[in-house]
Structure formats: C-alpha cells, structure tokens
Amino acid sequence: MMLTAKPRQPETGPQGDAPPFAPTRTYRFAFVMELQAGMRTQYLNWRHVVEREPNIAPTWVPVSYYEEGGWIERMRFLPSSVRGIWRGYLQTSRGLGRAKFDAALFNTHNTAVVHRRAVYEQRAFLMFDVTPIQYDGMAFWYEQKADRGGWLAEQKRRRVRETFQAAEGLFAWSHWAAQSAIEDYGADPKRVSIVPPGVDTQLWRPAEPGCRPDDGIVRILFTGGNFARKGGDLLLRWARETRQKNWELHLVTLDQVEAPPGVVVHRNLGSNSAELIALAQKCDVFALPTRADCFSIASLEAMAAGLPVIAGRVGGIPDIVREGETGYLLDPDDYDGLCDRLDMLLDSPALRQEMGRKGREVVCAQFELAALVRRGLGIMQAGY
C-alpha cells in the first residue's frame, strides 16, 4: 500500500496497490540480508521466491555481524557492538563490491545506515520492522540500552533520518513502523509502502482431514526464543493455576524452562522445519502474550496452519490479528485477559474452528509469501 496520508489502522490488515512485477528484461538486484532472529527467516523466504524468477539476476549479501576466527572478532579490547558494526560493514562492502545494480534491497535499515554509500550511489530500498526510536521504547525487553539523548544519540538519529530520506523506497512491515518513519524521521509518505513478511501457505497449512489427534486434548502452542519477553511466563502461570482439564501446553523456546505437568518444552526446532510445522498442525490454539515485539511471523504461520491466535497488542501485531474474528489481542501483562481468552477457546471447539478458518483465509489473501515478494519486486522494478 503506498501511503499518501497518515496511515490508519486497517480493519482488514495490510492491502497492496503496488505495481505487479512484470519483467521486460533481466534485472540485476542486490539483496543485503541481515540474518539476526526473524530476519533470517525473511531472508530464506525471499530467496526461495526470488531464485524462481527467471528475469532476476540476484546478488545475495548475507550479513551476520560475525565471522568465526575473524581478525575483528579477536580485538577483544573493542566493545562487541563496535566489532559487530565493523564486521557488518565489511560483509556488506565485500558483497556489493563496486558493481552497479538496478536496485538494492536492505532487509533492515541497520546495514544501510552503516553503509550509506550504497544508498546514495544507486536505487536503494530499505525494509524494516521497527525504527530506532520505537526500538528504544522496548529496549528493556530486548536487553539493550536505550539512547539517553546527547550529541551521540542525535548524530545516530540524524544518520537514520538522512538514510530514510535518501532511499528510493521504504518497505515497512506494518503501519506502526511506517508511521514512525514518516513522523519521526521525515520519510516521504509517497515512498513508504507496506510490505509485511509473508508465509508460504503451501508449506504452512492445516493438517489433512483425519491427521490431527482426536483424543479430546486441546493443545496450545507458544513459539518464542526469548521466553520472558514473549510472555511465556504468563502461560506457565496459567498452566499451574488453571482449573481447565484435558489440555497440553507446547513451548518452543531456546530458554531453559522448568515445565510443570501438562507442559512440553521443544528446543532446536528451526524456522520452517518439518518438525515445527507438524507440531503446529497438531495444536489447536496459538498463544503469544508478548510484552514487546515489532511483528510476529510466528502468529502468521500459526494462522496459516488454521489456529486461532492470542497475541500481545504491541508493535505491528494489530495488523495481523483481527480482534474477535481470527483471535484476540491483549495488552502487555494482561494475565486475567489471557486466562479469559484461553478459557473461551478451550471451551468452544466451534469457536476455535471458525477463528482458525478465518485466520487461514486472511493469511492466504493478504500475507501470501510469493505475492508479497512480487509486490516488493514490482516496486523495485518501477521506473524501468
């Protein structure tokens, strides 16, 4: 959606009127892809679609901010953040070289801010799920320190502002992120598009008829690497205190969790892995009472698998979940609200089925991976 006025929280989620990708020749596109957290999933998803487009000659530039045994990493006298920024700059420089591309897409603004030459020398597009000022508001939960003002903070903000304003286009994951780019950093609304990360709905889909467990147990799924930030402790509290019967709580997390009866902890389930998809297809409800998040690809995947979603009303998540239709939105730390919504869904198979069906429809219509990637490619192609 091209934003020409103040973004309004949509009733139906992100829509798109971007030009479709209609190639007339071969395009040389560079993709500078940060590999941190959910960005790695987005990188893999985009690569899956782009490499099937015969009219794109892609150059992939993965940015990990780290190199095993690298000379920068051995400079222990430097702060780890400085070493990471330096390594990210070199990875971007090596990947792009001196080549000229028809367009370059950065899947976060971080690498573009550090490597601004690439933004100024060619048509550059920046994708982002959060702006720095928004991230500062959630810094505590991300175990980071927010900028406290002063000269250095102002210089960092100025660099971000200049990069946002110099880019050919901005791909915001949500209306929430787009609003901040416009109001806090002076981005031209005409250059801001809503391009959320998509889900492969052929990969993430409901279980085939007759393949789901039919044992009367309602299975609740939680997926979150950072257990406390994602609100996993609230679900554990519910598991210990609830009077509901015949349920299982499945926690997919990297953190160490002491599981009470009825709770199953899963570790080392990779993004888009067959094991993770199979687990989602066995479950009945997805719960993510997150306290701080920029977006939630996991909620989209759960909806694609036909699950109703209970999620925190934070960041760009309100673009995903339709209150009362595909699930429920909770304010941070609303434990009573979480209990009420879980009880309603556990007590009503019909409600779970209807919300799950509607959620699958929403994802297929508005968050299909291939369609969203081609929307982005169409914006990058425009002008040729």
The pTM assigned to this predicted structure is 0.90
Q: What is the DSSP letter of 146?
A: P
Query: Phi first, then psi: what are they for 21, rounded to 5°?
Result: -75, 110
Query: In this structure, is residue 229 part of a structural domain?
Result: yes
Task: Encode pLDDT of 199-257 as tens digits.
Answer: 999 999 999 988 888 899 999 999 998 899 999 999 999 999 999 999 999 999 988 89
pLDDT of 212 reads 86
Strand partners, 172: 128, 194
Task: Encode pLDDT of 363-373 as tens digits.
Answer: 999 999 999 99
Strand partners, 223: 252
Shared domain check, 235 and 357: yes
- Report residue 122's pLDDT band, with 50, 70 and 90 as the boundaries: confident
The Cα 288–Cα 249 span in angstroms is 12
Query: In this structure, is residue 300 part of a structural domain?
Result: yes
The Cα 238–Cα 233 span in angstroms is 9
pLDDT of 270 reads 84
Task: Encode pLDDT of 133-170 as tens digits.
Answer: 999 999 898 888 887 778 878 888 999 999 999 999 99
Q: Please give the full DSSP string across 300-326, using - where no structure is assigned.
A: HHHHHTT--EEEES-TTGGGT--BTTT
Task: Encode pLDDT of 25-72 as tens digits.
Answer: 999 999 999 998 778 888 999 999 999 999 999 999 999 999 999 999
Has residue 375 got a pLDDT over 70?
yes
Query: In this structure, is residue 210 part of a structural domain?
Result: no
Shared domain check, 233 and 181: no
Boundaries of domain holding 286? 218-366
pLDDT of 10 reads 36
Q: What is the Cβ-side half-sphere exposure of residue 44, based on CA atoms within 13 angstroms?
A: 12
Q: In a 3-state reduction of DSSP, which class is residue 295? A: coil
Give the total number of structural domains in the chain.
2
- Report residue 384's pLDDT band, with 50, 70 and 90 as the boundaries: low
Query: In this structure, is residue 207 part of a structural domain?
Result: no
End-to-end CA distance of the chain: 20
pLDDT of 41 reads 87
Q: What is the DSSP letter of 143?
A: T
Task: Fill in the amino acid letter for 337.
Answer: G
Shared domain check, 252 and 237: yes
CB atoms within 10 A of CB 12: 11
Q: Please give the full DSSP string across 24-48, using - where no structure is assigned.
A: SS-EEEEEEEE-STHHHHHHHHHHH
